[in-house]
Amino acid sequence: MPAGRPRRTDSPEESGPRRINRFLEPCLLLLLHCTEIHGYELVDALKAFGFDEHPADPSTVYRMLRDLEGRGFVRSRWETESGGPARRLYQITHQGDEYLAWWVDDLRQTDEVLHSFLATYDRHMETHR
């Protein structure tokens, strides 16, 4: 972070500058749309969405998975065939697929707003430096 740049928060509980906790939800749903997967693999796979420098806290991911399951967007089952301890496998439901589509629509709208803001800022800064 450049010197003199204001922090976005003074709370040490908040993660890095570009971390958006709610963004975890559509990321998890998209990963689950691709394949049935273990929770710890989901935590690692989130790096593909930019959660590598400031990784998602595993407890947050598991809490979100439980919430998504409680709302009917995800289901889980215990995998016991691997010979080791039982582990949960997660997958998206039909309702979760619809919820993911809603998220994508909302993110596209947010993308338009952000691009408009950034373009306006860039134009302004070209003439007012």
pLDDT tens, residue by residue, 13-33 = 444 444 467 899 999 999 999
This prediction's pTM = 0.79
Q: What angle (nearest 5°) sits at the alpha carbon of residue 12, between those of residues 10 and 18? A: 80
pLDDT at 22: 87
pLDDT at 5: 42
Q: Which of these, 51, 2, 27, lies nearest to 99 by C-alpha position?
A: 27
Tens-level pLDDT at each residue, the chain (129 residues): 344 444 444 444 444 444 467 899 999 999 999 999 999 999 999 999 988 888 889 999 999 999 999 999 999 999 988 778 889 999 999 999 999 999 999 999 999 999 999 999 999 999 998
CATH numbers and ranges of domains, the chain: 21-127 (1.10.10.10)
Cα–Cα distance, 97 to 108 (Å, whole number): 17
